[in-house]
Chain A
């Protein structure tokens, strides 16, 4: 019995390890191909060169530097906006006696069911009519959604009412209470939401593609997708683009691994 179990356990460890390898293998392959100059795909070790010409080309000739800047600005703007707006809304919903708030909250939740494609077309028309095409605002403002507010509210429940009342009696003003007491208490939730928003914004493709048509406003995924065309595909270059797109979140992940994983887990369990 015992022996069989250890065997099962060993097999499990091997399987998990294999799956983990499977998870990173395509990304290693991506990096490897990005160092080749081959238009055909038979990539052997002989094709690997350790010069960065594909990267250099992508950054100097194909606007990847600019796209990186655009992506970073969009992500920072989105995270700030989503965090602030969601935290405020959650606080209002959870701690304030606003009439009809539960109905409104249910309405918010219902929007989570809406597929993106349903609202894509009217949103495009609205942004266009508002002359907001080719702005960061067009990329950032729509990132606020029901999920963030819902998530923040889950955490807002745990903020003690007594503490807030005590602070109020001490003469601590409304806004100050929110900023100095509530926000620090829900900090884990803010981190979680930041990670979710980061992921969603960084990877957003279709919306930036149709709403920001000027190349100076293109984000990384859009710029990446301009690399391939029907008649020429230099795989090395496309993979260099993919690597560049992947690099920034990956470095962030390496440094903030714990926050990433815990943030997602927290969001999942609470959500």
Chain B
């Protein structure tokens, strides 16, 4: 018994020592990428296998070791910031919200490492935020617009050839669809537990359709304006008219229900049609977006890749940037987009297009695609707005109060600068 205990103790001690010791001769890199392979199909290559394979060539060419860590989305937002504070944090990292990282100067300025040609190759390079020295610190990628999906069978059953897209006409059509078919006209994920994911699909697109701008001239978030009010009133009307399900749902639920043929219209990410709805046997069509006073409007998010500033101390900054360039290269991204998850191209030299119809649609409306911008305490702002809108649905707040309360709470409690 005593011997077992002793062995266990030694084992535990050894394990903690092993994880402490990171003495290696070859240069090494740690890369953090969130999970993108959601398919469970037998032939679906896992994220880990994909990236390990991709980096084989890189490791050989640069005589280094690359360790790719695939992090689940469920905790990604919580962990990647603190991981950058840690001494053993990743060198190359996939970034979702970048405001805090830029403000705290945790990312490496990329300009000195990249040629003009390389910079020019990045489609969204000009939108990247800069550090105090005026160097861009991330390579933004287009996460893809949230696109509308229409169930054409339900539409036909209700006697429509086309879904009316103007806000008011849409509500009227929704009522008729529900009356005639007994099916749900529309679903939005207002039951989400995170403000960011709810607003991405169910707030910002309408705000853009109403002509709203996220940041004012001082770079501060501002939604308490005409467009904001129109947006919230529209949401309230959708809810009051019974267009939303009375049981407001999460994003995956609305996708499930669309795949089940229970809903006429939803907004979801641009992969869902090919990966989920077609296999489910639903007859569907893309719709770019609804149409508010300012016309069409869809949002895209810019997640990005960046390099940890600590690579300067670690002496592998150049290697890290090289890896970043390699990851985002047309060749690797085309492979990623075809084998793992489709997104719009990152760079001008990328060529893979999964769905011509979708590509044509988004290209035609490229002026109506808006970026969800970054600002201080964004996540908590979005949680606050989500909570207030949910409160409005429960009958406790008016649309104007939603905006007033959100902005007041943000300005007095959340904002520090």
Chain A interface residues toward B at CB < 8 A? 37, 39-40, 53, 57, 61-62, 73, 76-77, 80, 124, 128, 131, 133-137, 140, 209-210, 213-217, 222-223, 225-234, 237
Contact = CB atoms under 8 A, between A and B. Distances in A.
14 contacts: A124-B82, A128-B85, A128-B86, A133-B87, A134-B19, A136-B15, A137-B16, A213-B86, A225-B74, A227-B74, A229-B74, A230-B73, A232-B38, A237-B40
Contact of A226 (B19, B75, B89, B256): B75
Contact of B11 (A37, A73, A133): A73
A156 B250 CA distance: 54
Interface in B54-76: 69-75
A217 B67 CA distance: 14
Interface of B: 5, 8-9, 11-12, 15-16, 19-20, 35, 38, 40, 46, 48, 69-75, 78-80, 82-83, 85-89, 189, 192, 194, 197, 250-252, 255-257, 259-260, 268-269
Contacts, number: 109
A226 B69 CA distance: 13
Contacts of A80: 5, 8-9, 12
B83 A57 contact: no
A226 B72 contact: yes
Interface of B, secondary structure class, is: helix
Nearest to A136: B16
B74 A226 contact: yes
Contacts of B40: 37, 53, 57, 234, 237
A234 B39 CA distance: 10
A262 to B, nearest CB: 19
A149 B69 CA distance: 39
Contacts of A134: 19, 86, 88
A55 to B, nearest CB: 12
B353 to A, nearest CB: 22
A82 to B, nearest CB: 12
A233 B252 contact: yes
Greatest chain B CB density within 10 A among A57, A73, A217, A234 is at A73
Contacts of A37: 40
A61 B46 CA distance: 7
Contact of A215 (B16, B69, B197, B268): B69
B19 A136 contact: yes
A81 to B, nearest CB: 8
Contacts of B89: 213
A262 B255 CA distance: 48
Contacts of B70: 215
A61 B70 CA distance: 10
Interface centre among A61, A76, A213, A232 (most CB of B within 10 A): A213
B88 A214 contact: yes
Contact of A229 (B12, B15, B72, B189): B72
B87 A228 contact: no
A257 B8 CA distance: 23
A73 B85 CA distance: 25
Given A229-B74, A231-B197, 9 more contacts: A131-B87, A134-B19, A136-B12, A210-B78, A229-B35, A230-B192, A230-B194, A232-B252, A237-B40
Nearest to B72: A226
B83 A213 contact: yes
A135 B251 CA distance: 36
A234 B250 CA distance: 13
Contacts of B20: 135
Contact of B12 (A57, A77, A128, A131): A77
B16 A40 contact: no
Contacts of A140: 12, 16
Nearest to A40: B256
A76 B12 contact: yes
Contact of A210 (B79, B255, B256, B269): B79
Nearest to B39: A232
Given A140-B12, A230-B192, A214 B72 contact: no
Given A61-B46, A80-B12, A136-B16, A226 B73 contact: yes
A217 B19 contact: yes
A135 B46 contact: no
A59 B11 CA distance: 23
A161 B18 CA distance: 43
Given A213-B79, A217-B19, A233-B250, A133 B88 contact: yes
Contacts of A216: 69
A241 to B, nearest CB: 10
Nearest first, the 10 closest Cβ-Cβ pairs linking A and B are: A226-B72, A229-B73, A77-B12, A213-B83, A230-B197, A136-B16, A233-B252, A226-B74, A133-B86, A213-B79
A40 B9 contact: no
A229 B268 CA distance: 14
Contacts of A229: 35, 72-74
Nearest to A62: B72
A260 to B, nearest CB: 19
B272 to A, nearest CB: 9
A130 to B, nearest CB: 10
A171 to B, nearest CB: 22
B5, B80, B256: which has the most chain A beta carbons within 10 Å? B256
Name the residue in B19, B78, B260 with the highest tally of chain A Cβ atoms < 10 Å from its Cβ. Answer: B19
Contacts of A39: 252, 256, 259
A133 B84 CA distance: 11
Nearest to A206: B78
Interface centre among B40, B194, B197 (most CB of A within 10 A): B40
Nearest to B198: A230
Nearest to B189: A230
A222 B71 CA distance: 11
A96 B8 CA distance: 30
Contacts of B75: 209, 222, 225-226
A231 B71 contact: no
A237 B38 CA distance: 11
B15 A73 contact: yes
A58 B20 CA distance: 27
A152 to B, nearest CB: 17
Contacts of B83: 213-214
A215 B69 CA distance: 7
